[in-house]
Structure 1
């Protein structure tokens, strides 16, 4: 690990990296080795070209009109005539696509099946008449003929529904004139908000073009799978594909964005609208599969966000397997020969929507998208949000991946069923894509500054120290195999100043009147979004450091703070299980990952390792290295600060489960509580603990991390759940599993600090950062448990005894847990690869 005397002139190594291409507001695409300057022709002012473009109408109306006319007429590259991919921009494309989808044999088979089922129901209920009666057509009753006519009638109705659904769903990119105008508008808006342009790697673009040429020749689709942090994600990818001559992908998008005016615009620019939830609608499900099949069979490019929704926390979310499953089934079934997978990372100096994300994470309901909110986004266009960096992983064959997985399964001792095989392949596919997105992600200047500010002790940091730590962090990112955005010949001082400018005074404050500029985090919650963009690179070191902290926090001499390997391994395993839904871990396994991490920390002089005397290979003890102590534990603390907010959030989740302890009046009764209300009260509980000093990080109360914690508790069998339905409203209720319910004092009625749940929370707490009253266990026991009981009172006031009218129930618990409800079933677990 780099020492405190790092002398790197710049946190980048442009000489070892491929040059960037930057797309700005002007006509040209700039190729330059140092990606931070958007235009090498403007010397030290990368914003000059943008300012000229914005002032052009006032200063030179004729030039402005000429530029617009070039886009309207499609002069030069703007014509988009010689694209790499299948032809889509022609009149009648949409109708031709609808015809192919509605003629899909799988869809027709499903329509016949659904019609047959309906006829069978009508026959069973006596709706088709009886022998000797006249049928609905005035003829003598013949059951066979009547059923046949009725089946055809239902099939026609279903096909009419399918046609309407198809028209609403499919993208309608059939006008080049419209696409040219959309490109010009999107580029002007995007490069005014992100004033340093959109950057890509020239090496990756050349590779992608080569793959696209082969795919077009073989009539194969490229499936772009980007991470999802902003609505700008799909805009930037469309702009890149257009500007570089690649066929625009059809973008799988939730129909929540399909509101008046904007919805139609996006649909003609490439959006494919799908419902957020398919439910049990078999016709719609089959229709989506038919459309995916049609796109892939004809070699049209696709874009799908593997995380599903946008990440509100800055780090990657676990994969969603819905649309990914449709694409997998198209290939695995043989209906499509092959498709090319291309993971994509999109990183920002600043994400436009972060303000709204924080509101949502603090419990404010997500507002429904509408035109006025969309137009209000124009207020950000006057901001300077830095730049967008898009990176493409090396594309690979989905068919080859499936074959490889199936070959691996043949070596298993027990043969998998087709369903089990599909689940395993799909899960491996999702996490492989996420891992490759992380591999090519670029750490932006704002992420470097945000991470440094949130991983230092004290209220603030001087500019000199901030610059030193940014340089140190840049080196650590590269040492971990990560990428740092190109800065070229710019000194770190300028890079840091630009990052501070983009973050703005609302996130990073400057203390006035001091001998040295001193900066501090104004909004730590919002700044944590940018810190989380780097945590995936150091998650293994962070877990090891948090495990060591269980001993180091106790104080005493060095010999008192060392930890045995068995204790270290046990705590690392415990933490990795807690966070398997939060982070993407390497797939080599616990022992291999732990050994590699220990070796790395040892070589960096962060830890000192004592091995057995016999062969010198087996680790016996681990402790802080003397050199690390001399530097004030800055490297060790850095790793701890990264993971502590997540440990706090999980501890909060565990302590909030104390609210589920039944009151004495409900003793012996099976009571179910509304899951959403429980998590809302858990947030209120967390906010109270934070303001009273028992919680160190306000971001620990965010609802996404709490939701992940509750999901993990459910999978561990600590809580069990039941899903009930009243009309169209579905409600999930939960309760503590019997063996996890805490006891109450018989006289006072207070929750006792003993039992499995308390021990579980205490084990999490052992890795928490030391804070107010943290060492006074008695105070924490009495105050925190009392507060949990008080906050949970409202839940029990509204509680209903028993699961109610359960139509479908899902129960997760220990292996011996009983199923609840007539259609109760154990939930299938989708778990990330373990550490």
Structure 2
């Protein structure tokens, strides 16, 4: 509504009214519904107005932002979200759309779960100039707390497990075994769930598989020796939406796996634990537009705690260098890097390779570039050079461009030769990290097949 000054002025006055009388205000900090299944970057407009109003009125009482998580076990609109991310045009919400929307409710979609996080206090100091980044900091703290309060669902774990194995289908025994390992891990963490975590994998599957099969996200092939399950090829983004309901509990461990893989594949120096920390922080920087990270020290403590849960002797083994890391990777369980992070890394690689084909930064057309990435991504997926169909999505490529811009790859002030050099270095970085995440996927597959016990 930036182009509607009357609406904007009325809304600002209404927020002033609510704050002056200490009335509650409910809004989406993301600016709308998430179309990815995970928390996306916040919008600051209403938060700015809220703090402005608080500064003008009673400053003696604290102002609190209370994170509110609303989680759907399945979402009616997820097909439409996927269609848009693949480059499709959003369908007009007319009478015909509304009728079809109502008809879709005939398919059972499970429950809606509401959770409240710990309140985040907005700091309003009378007579003091506001910190220029106060709003961003408040939004960031709110989103971190919102993630902590958001529970995982059964569907998120089933879809995440199937996507991590894709394109390989899993028997029910394999699926149950993978989920048992994942549930053991989640029980040991401070994980919130919409179901009792004491529940067995068999009970979880009985409750969630029928709904996922009915909605067409998961397919069961029963004509062979035994039934096998996989995510339907053109439903990868639908399944990723549900998987992303749990991604905030998995990405920290995924970053640890990737950092350890770098030490094992590329080698480490005299201080492997220090090398690990440096690589972890590099990955944290790489994924800063995908996930909400707590402060550096808190993040590192959480990552080390995650590794403690998955292998009690990881420090000792890492300190031994390559031989110790070899043993660690045989025993570390569950492996999280490929399932949690591979789609993002594949999309970043597509963006990096496409930038090599692009000329000057001055005539850069972002919309055309994203469309090119979609087409190249589809080709690479057909050639199986890209494993995850979910890697081919507009929001993924847009984030990949943010990474590129942060590295100066669209800087119009540098020479073409310098720009080409930067882009080649970035592309090689993305190739290397994708090789590492592929190695994690291969290791997980070898474990399932029994090659590694």
Question: So what's the TM-score if we normalise by structure 1?
Answer: 0.48
Paired residue secondary structure (1:766) = helix
Task: Tell me the alpha carbon deviations over residues 338-362 of structure 1, each in whole angstroms, 9 at most, x when there is no partner.
Answer: 5543211111111111101111111
Indicate which of 201, 219, 233 corresponds to 1:509. 219
Q: For each residue in 1:411-450, what CA deviation from the matched residue of structure 2 results, as whole angstroms up to 9, or x when unmatched?
A: xxxxxx936x1x4221121112211221121211111111
The Cα of 1:536 is off from its aligned counterpart by: 1.1
In structure 2, the residue corresponding to 1:345 is in which secondary structure?
strand
Aligned-residue offset at 1:646: 0.8
> 1:659-674 residue pairs with structure 2 within 5 A?
659-662=357-360, 671-674=362-365
Which whole-Å CA distance do the structure 2 matches of 1:646 and 1:549 have between them?
17
Whichever structure has more strand as a proportion of its residues is 1
Counterpart position of 1:605: 311
The SS at the match of 1:319 is coil
Q: Give the SS at the match of 2:42.
A: coil
Distance 2:173 2:24 in 1: 48
* 1:768 aligned residue (404, 409, 434): 434
State the match for 2:276 in structure 1. Answer: 568
Q: 2:129 aligns with which of 408, 411, 418?
A: 418
Is 1:579 the counterpart of 2:290 in the alignment? no
Q: Conserved in 1, the CA contact under 8 Å of 2:346 and 2:434?
A: yes
C-alpha contact (below 8 Å) 2:117/2:149 kept by paired residues = yes
Instruction: Tell me the SS of whatever aligns to 1:347.
Output: strand
Do residues 402 (structure 1) and 100 (structure 2) align? no
Q: Distance in 2 between matches of 1:384 and 1:639?
A: 32
Alignment of 1:434-453 (within 5 A): 434-453=143-162
State the match for 2:90 in structure 1: 366
Offset of 1:530 from its aligned partner? Answer: 1.4
- Say which SS state the counterpart of residue 582 (structure 1) adopts: coil
Is residue 510–residue 517 contact of structure 1 (8 Å, CA) maintained in 2?
yes
Distance 1:544 1:491 in 2: 27
1:491–1:718 distance in 2 versus 1, CA, 3 Å: closer
User: What do residues 360-406 of structure 1 show as CA deviations (whole Å, max 9, x unaligned)?
Assistant: 1111122343333123201112111111111122446x4xx314xx6
TM-aligned CA deviation for residue 486 of structure 1: 2.5
Please give the residue correspondences for 1:284-303 in structure 2 after superposition, counting only pairs within 5 Å: 284-303=7-26
**1:71 corresponds to which residue?**
none
Deviations 1:320-349 (A, max 9, x none): 101121112111233675554321111111
- Quote how far apart the aligned CAs of 1:684 are: 1.8
Relative to structure 1, the CA distance from residue 455 to residue 494 in structure 2 (aligned partners, 3 Å threshold; closer, same or farther) is: same
Secondary structure at the aligned position of 2:364 is classed as strand
Conserved 8 A contact 1:349-1:499: no
- 1:648 Cα offset (Å): 1.0
* Deviation per residue, 1:213-249 (Å, 9 max, x gap): xxxxxxxxxxxxxxxxxxxxxxxxxxxxxxxxxxxxx
Of 389, 394, 399, the match for 1:698? 389
The change in CA–CA distance for 1:489 and 1:635 in structure 2 (over 3 A counts) is closer
Q: 3-state DSSP class of the match of 1:768? A: helix
Distance 1:284 1:608 in 2: 57
Show the 5 A alignment for 1:206-605: 275=1, 278-279=2-3, 284-334=7-57, 339-395=63-119, 398=121, 401-403=122-124, 418=129, 421=131, 423-456=132-165, 459-487=168-196, 492-504=201-213, 506-522=216-232, 523-552=235-264, 564-587=272-295, 589=296, 593-594=299-300, 596-598=302-304, 600-602=306-308, 604-605=310-311
Give the Å deviation of 1:650: 1.3
Q: State the alpha-carbon separation in 2 of the partners of residues 471 and 539 from structure 1.
A: 19
Task: Name the CA distance, whole Å, in 1 between partners of 2:359 and 2:207.
Answer: 51
TM-score, length of structure 2 as denominator length? 0.84
| Deviation, structure 1 residue 494 | 3.6
Query: In 2 relative to 1, CA 293–592 (structure 1 residues): closer, same or farther, beyond 3 Å?
Result: closer
Aligned partner (choices 334, 353, 356) of residue 635 of structure 1:
334
* TM-aligned CA deviation for residue 709 of structure 1: 2.0
Q: Which residue of 2 aligns with 1:687?
A: 378
Match of 1:729 in 2: none
Q: Determine if contact 1:548/1:563 at 8 Å carries over to the other structure.
A: no
Higher RCO, 1 vs 2 (CA within 8 Å, ≥6 residues apart)? 2
CA contact (8 A) 2:252 2:303 kept: yes
Deviation per residue, 1:621-680 (Å, 9 max, x gap):
4753636515xx6523x3332111111111222222123225xxxxxxx84232222222
Tell me the distance in 2 between the aligned counterparts of 1:307 and 1:357: 16
* Change in 2 beyond 3 A, CA 1:332/1:767: same
CA contact under 8 A between 1:313 and 1:529: conserved in structure 2?
A: yes
CA–CA separation in structure 1 for the residues paired with 2:270 and 2:169:
31
- Unaligned segments of structure 2, at least 5 residues: 439-453
Gaps of 5+ in 1: 1-274, 411-416, 613-618, 663-669, 721-734, 744-754, 773-835
Residues 181-220 of structure 1 aligned to structure 2 (within 5 Å): none
Alpha-carbon distance in structure 1 between the residues aligned to 2:398 and 2:414:
18
Deviation for aligned residue 1:495: 2.8
Q: Secondary structure in 2 aligned to 1:673?
A: coil
Distance in 1, Cα, partners of 2:164 & 2:404: 28
> For the Cα contact (< 8 Å) 1:694–1:771, is it kept in 2?
no
Q: Distance in 1 between matches of 2:75 and 2:277?
A: 38
Residue of structure 2 in register with 1:798 after alignment: none
User: Aligned to 2:325, which of 618, 624, 627?
Assistant: 624
Distance (whole Å) between structure 2 residues aligned to residue 497 and residue 606 of structure 1: 33
Distance of 1:741 and 1:465 partners within structure 2: 50
- Please give the secondary structure, in 1, of the residue aligned with 2:67: strand
What is the CA–CA distance in structure 2 between the aligned matches of 1:771 and 1:549, rounded to whole Å?
Answer: 8
| Partner SS, residue 292 of structure 2 | coil
